[in-house]
């Protein structure tokens, strides 16, 4: 079934010939999940880049948030001269970018410049490798990521000039499901719903969330790679429409200690021969399921603590995990219970597991890759999940806890035998250095909290 906004090469040619498209963005994500790439003249893209691809500097997989090249990576460094890698457009991702004038967008796989083999540390390639492992077991994966974000009346430039202090949320009441407040923000939310729909990202709905100016906009589930692609297009669209409207959005996991965090609940199920491989006749509490379901769920519960940096990649991520905040603190599974880290929902063909650990700051390729690696391990090891949890997981002190800091999570990731087995030692080393670089930047920063607390009183 064709999806509105997606383009074939022939359709792109027609768009170029009729003047509807004159620019093609060729893009991939860095480790943070930010889109990087180039803008091509659409005619030149058709003549050259569509088939032969493009290139970019390999330092883009070793930079920090400020785009500074960070020493200590084996993949790319000054000693190697920071060469290029190859960008191969995945033409199945070619789409209109309807929020931009006469523009199309295509996502790329990052390949070695000479070998043209996938670069293991590139996020989309990491997910692709886990999907290939899953395919060897006879399964495909379907997924959905539910992103939350905060909308502000200030534009990014003025917010930055004010050091992100005293910025005005687009709303003054908690607006969870609140249609009146949602109406006030419809000039933005309605615009992005329509742009996403017209850019190959089918939209289900939008709603207010549990914070002033906080929203959730859900897009239709798809195979895991397509869903991850939709996720990064979604974030780019929302940020750029906010810029066009003189506003700003943030996908920080915790933008304010007094407000709800922003999550990225990930729903996932496995499929085989066109049927949901989770749905079956075995009873697991209220769930009618299969051995595959039980083992996949058990893999998530056992290995999530070792893979948490791929779900929660920043220092800020861990400030979201607060009791009574809708973010999980305990790694239990439940049926339709939002206090636990893993919430089972649906039945029959719709049976799936929701992981509530990722925040809106996650890179979807890394997050989906981590969840697949954990689930695959559960299947291979024929694990069984613990008993169904019922009640308030926030109060269950005997349950395993979500790691409480990026430092703790990174230590566990670096030591994980599963991570080395699933991703390879070079990937674990690369990502560990990435997470430790982020932690080090925070450790040496002097924060407003410190000045307020110590300036006079110490």
Mean pLDDT of 235-242: 98
Question: Which pLDDT does position 1 carry in this prediction?
Answer: 63
Q: Residues 430, 437: contact at Cβ < 8 Å?
A: no
Q: Which of 387, 248, 379, 367 is nearest to 314 (CA)?
A: 367
- Structure-token pair, residue 393: 């997981």
**What is the Cα–Cα distance from 112 to 226, expressed in whole angstroms?**
23
Question: Which pLDDT does position 231 carry in this prediction?
Answer: 98
Sort strands 222-223 and 287-289 into parallel, antiparallel or unpaired: unpaired
- Condensed to tens digits (0 to 9), the pLDDT of residues 315-372 reads 999 999 988 888 888 899 999 888 889 999 999 999 999 999 999 999 999 999 999 9
- Is the pLDDT at 172 greater than 90? The verdict is no
Question: Going by CATH, does the domain composed of 134-451 fall within 3.30.590.10?
Answer: yes
The pTM for the full model equals: 0.96
Every domain range in the chain assigned CATH 3.10.20.70 = 9-116
Task: Return mean pLDDT, the chain.
Answer: 94
Mean pLDDT of 171-176: 82
Find residue 29's DSSP bridge partners. 35
* Cα angle, residue 204 at apex, residues 14 and 368 outer, rounded to 5°: 90
Every domain range in the chain assigned CATH 3.30.590.10 = 134-451
- Condensed to tens digits (0 to 9), the pLDDT of residues 104-124 reads 999 999 999 999 999 999 999
**What is the Cα–Cα distance from 34 to 21, expressed in whole angstroms?**
24
Q: Please give the CATH topology (third level) of the domain spanning 9-116.
A: Ubiquitin-like (UB roll) (3.10.20)
Other residues' Cβ atoms within 10 Å of the Cβ of residue 355: 25
């Amino acid at each position: 079934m064709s999806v509105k906004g997606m383009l074939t090469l022939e359709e792109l040619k027609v768009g170029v010939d009729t003047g509807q498209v004159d620019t093609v963005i060729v893009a991939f994500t860095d480790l943070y999940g930010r889109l990087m790439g180039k803008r091509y003249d659409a005619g030149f893209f058709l003549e050259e880049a569509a088939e032969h691809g493009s290139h970019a500097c390999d330092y883009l997989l070793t930079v920090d948030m400020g785009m500074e090249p960070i020493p200590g990576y084996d993949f790319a460094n000054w000693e190697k001269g920071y060469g290029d890698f190859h960008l191969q457009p995945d033409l199945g991702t070619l789409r209109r970018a309807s929020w931009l004038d006469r523009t199309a967008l295509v996502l790329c796989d990052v390949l070695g410049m000479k070998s043209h083999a996938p670069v293991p540390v590139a996020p989309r390639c990491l997910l692709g490798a886990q999907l290939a492992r899953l395919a060897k077991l006879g399964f495909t994966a379907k997924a959905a990521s539910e992103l939350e974000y905060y909308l502000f009346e200030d534009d990014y430039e003025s917010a930055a000039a004010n050091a992100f202090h005293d910025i005005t949320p687009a709303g003054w009441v908690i607006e969870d499901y609140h249609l009146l407040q949602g109406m006030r923000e419809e000039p933005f939310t309605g615009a992005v719903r329509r742009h996403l729909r017209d850019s190959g990202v089918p939209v289900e709905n939008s709603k207010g969330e549990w914070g002033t100016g906080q929203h959730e906009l859900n897009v239709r589930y798809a195979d895991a790679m397509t869903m991850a692609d939709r996720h990064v297009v979604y974030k780019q669209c929302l940020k750029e429409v906010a810029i066009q409207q003189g506003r700003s959005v943030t996908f920080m996991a915790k933008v304010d200690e007094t407000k709800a965090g922003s999550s990225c609940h990930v729903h996932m199920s496995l499929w085989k021969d066109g049927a949901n491989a989770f749905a079956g006749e075995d009873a697991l509490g209220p769930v009618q399921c299969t051995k595959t379901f039980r083992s996949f769920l058990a893999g998530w519960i056992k290995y999530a603590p070792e893979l948490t940096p791929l779900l929660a990649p920043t220092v800020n991520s861990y400030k979201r995990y607060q009791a009574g905040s809708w973010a999980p603190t305990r790694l239990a599974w439940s049926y339709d219970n939002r206090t636990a880290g893993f919430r089972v929902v649906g039945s029959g063909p719709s049976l799936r597991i929701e992981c509530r650990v990722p925040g809106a700051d996650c890179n979807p390729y890394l997050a989906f890759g981590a969840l697949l690696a954990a689930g695959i391990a559960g299947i291979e090891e024929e694990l069984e999940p613990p008993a169904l949890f019922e009640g308030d997981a926030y109060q269950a002190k005997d349950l395993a806890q979500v790691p409480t800091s990026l430092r703790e999570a990174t230590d566990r990731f670096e030591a994980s035998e599963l991570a080395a087995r699933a991703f390879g030692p070079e990937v674990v080393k690369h990502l560990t250095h990435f997470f430790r670089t982020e932690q080090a930047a925070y450790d040496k920063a002097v924060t407003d909290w410190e000045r307020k607390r110590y300036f006079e009183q110490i």
